[in-house]
A and B are shown apart, each in its own frame.
Chain A
Amino acid sequence: MTVNNISFKTIAVFFNTGNKSSRLFSYAGLAVGVLLLLCCVQMYININELLKDRNPHKNGYDFLSVTKTITNDNMGNDNRFTNADIEDLKKQSFITDAAPLLSNQFRAKASAGDIIPFSTDLFLESVKNEFIDTLPPSFKWQPGQQDVPIIFSADFLEMYNVFAPAQGLPQLSESSIGAVNIVLECYSPDGSVTNFRGHIVAVSDRINSVIVPQTFLEWGNKTFGNRPPQAAARVYIKTTDANSAGLQNYIQQKNYHLNKDKTKFGRIKSTLQAIVAGLGGLAVLVVLLSVLLFSFYLQLMVSRSKDNLQLLLTLGYSPLWLSKTVAKKWIPVYAIIILLAFAGTALFQYSFQKNFIAGQDVLSPYPHFFVIALAAILFLLCVVANYRLIKKLLYKL
């Protein structure tokens, strides 16, 4: 059979293509829909990249620090949390869990050895492990252990880096801080000193303190402290929604203070992502509608050309060959549409990176690989869906 030599041109005259405007509309719709979809996916990735390290959410929870508000009136009082206060916090339906931040009841001092001539008095705190956002497996201590793992607040690191140059100290990055050997000096009430080797094992965005394992602090308070266990001045709470009205009312009523800055990025991120996801959903709808419009156009074309197509099939033209030949005609059309939409997305990303974030290299000026893959998948989907529809229509004749 020599049917393979025949091109679409030969049989094109037997197609009554008709209604050009509905075809062009469906092309335009597809281009807009794909452009919107690709931009949304790129934007979703951008938001994720830009707000990646500042997200204090962990498994859908917000972790917040609660203190008692210090005013001129209550300055002289004991503004620490009693056990009853903590139990009351835990009882609230909008609070999943609460844990006090224990602090050291002995004098502790840190020095960074000979390389960095730096020494300071230190306050140490500990909290339940599940409240720590960046918890490495090495964050453990048992009596007799010389090495004490420390989790350091990212804010403190930033503050240190601001003042370090003026003091002639080197600035440190998050990754290099782990290499600094800290000598942790713990003072007994009688003035004797016990040294430990401190290592910063992680930096935390959530807890602005110097965190050591709870076992170490309890042991230290017992060994070096001379006072009975003290109440905590700070409590961490775990909640599903930091903005819930119940929580706000409770905090206000108890005259507590909530550290909420940390949740702002998370809120902005999830809000932005919800908006972009909504737009993406709309884009999918536009794509589907334009594909539907195009399928109506194809059905119309086939039904207008029904007599001719039927006769071609009767004469021995294979419906399979005919489907492939007709479908092939639209491959360049889909390629151009998707490429245009992709070019639009690339332009969007380039101008977003250059203008909106001033060319910082936290974002690539080029579309993300996933966007490229999605464009390729959409192209394949269009081609396959088109071919299947044409095949179905022709086999039905």
Chain B
Amino acid sequence: MNITLKNIVPQFLEKEKIQRSQIWGQEHTFRKGEMIQIVAPSGSGKTSLVHFLYGLRKDYTGDILLGEKKLKSLTPPVLAAIRADDVSIIFQDLRLFKDFSTQQNIEIKRLLSAFHNTSKINEMAERLGIANKLTQNAGTCSYGEQQRIAIIRALQQPFDFIIMDEPFSHLDENNREKAMQLIEEEAKARGAAIILADLKPIEFFNAEHIIHL
């Protein structure tokens, strides 16, 4: 499955920002298996784009095509199936169940559509240094730890695309590298594309395309 953007323009964005953009108002296709870095300064609509791609918001003109289908016209159950099986996400605001343990947060995603068995959660948590946080409530973890929980959660499902919105903002260099490595490995295992949106290029990400928003 490919994702094609056709003249997407957010209804709220200033005209001059749209004119300079390589995505807004343009036609662009993200292909399965591609490594894409989207560089977006503050206020350029980065998070909006991520939400548009994930089908959370519809306040734009133009169309986003998932394969042949218009994203806007999908019914809630079909969209849910795509989120479970085809498109994974790491939100900038993470969106964890704060009152539930790290393990529960990750497991609820794995149960929906499992790519790995449950022992893989421990292995990943070990790699990213949050193994001792698995039984702790996510809300009581530091923001950096929560970011790693969100990353591990996003890697539990099968996907063709993983969309990430400033996934490493609260991680140190060492943890960034480890996290990026894990994500790249997991994407390769699925033959999937990575779409990473951040304020500036991430040094450990071997991006094939850099697109300026």
Are A and B physically bound partners? yes
Q: Which residues of A contact B (CB under 8 A)?
A: 1-3, 5-6, 10-11, 13-14, 308, 311-321, 395
B97 near A317: Cβ-Cβ < 8 Å: no
Closest to A6 in B: B111
Q: Which of B56, B80, B82 has the largest number of chain A CB atoms within 10 A? A: B80
Which parts of B61-88 form the interface with A (CB within 8 Å)?
A: 76-77, 80-85
Residue B6 lies at the interface, judged by CB distance under 8 Å to chain A: no
- Number of A-B residue pairs at CB separation under 8 A: 61
Q: In angstroms, how far is the closest chain B Cβ from the Cβ of A313?
A: 7
Q: Which of A314, A315, A395 has the largest number of chain B CB atoms within 10 A? A: A315
B113 near A1: Cβ-Cβ < 8 Å: yes
Bound-state CA distance A314–B109 (Å) is 11
Q: In angstroms, how far is the closest chain B Cβ from the Cβ of A394?
A: 9
B85 near A1: Cβ-Cβ < 8 Å: yes
A316 near B83: Cβ-Cβ < 8 Å: yes
Give chain A's interface secondary structure class. Answer: helix
A316 near B112: Cβ-Cβ < 8 Å: yes
Residue B114 lies at the interface, judged by CB distance under 8 Å to chain A: yes
Closest to B107 in A: A10
Set A6, A13, A321, A395: member contacting B100, Cβ < 8 A: A13
Set B77, B95, B111, B157: member contacting A319, Cβ < 8 A: B77
Q: Which of A2, A312, A319 has the largest number of chain B CB atoms within 10 A? A: A2
Q: Which residues of B contact A (CB under 8 A)?
A: 56, 76-77, 80-85, 95, 97, 100, 104, 108-109, 111-114, 157
B76 near A6: Cβ-Cβ < 8 Å: no
A/B interface sample: 15 pairs, CB < 8 A: A1-B81, A2-B113, A14-B97, A312-B108, A315-B112, A316-B82, A316-B83, A316-B85, A317-B84, A318-B80, A319-B76, A319-B77, A320-B76, A320-B77, A321-B77
Bound-state CA distance A43–B61 (Å) is 64
Bound-state CA distance A154–B113 (Å) is 78
Bound-state CA distance A316–B157 (Å) is 10
A311 near B111: Cβ-Cβ < 8 Å: no
Bound-state CA distance A316–B84 (Å) is 5
Q: Which of A14, A312, A316 has the largest number of chain B CB atoms within 10 A? A: A316
Q: In angstroms, how far is the closest chain B Cβ from the Cβ of A311?
A: 6
B95 near A3: Cβ-Cβ < 8 Å: no
A315 near B77: Cβ-Cβ < 8 Å: no
Closest to A10 in B: B111
Q: In angstroms, how far is the closest chain A Cβ from the Cβ of B68?
A: 20
B81 near A318: Cβ-Cβ < 8 Å: yes
Q: In angstroms, how far is the closest chain A Cβ from the Cβ of B78?
A: 9
Closest to B55 in A: A314
CB neighbours (8 Å) of A3 from chain B are 84, 112-113
Set B77, B97, B100, B104: member contacting A318, Cβ < 8 A: B77
Bound-state CA distance A315–B81 (Å) is 10
Set B80, B81, B82, B97: member contacting A311, Cβ < 8 A: B97
Closest to A3 in B: B112
B84 near A314: Cβ-Cβ < 8 Å: no
A395 near B81: Cβ-Cβ < 8 Å: no
Bound-state CA distance A10–B100 (Å) is 13
Bound-state CA distance A320–B100 (Å) is 24
CB neighbours (8 Å) of B83 from chain A are 314-316
Closest to A310 in B: B95
A319 near B80: Cβ-Cβ < 8 Å: yes
CB neighbours (8 Å) of A308 from chain B are 97
A315 near B56: Cβ-Cβ < 8 Å: no
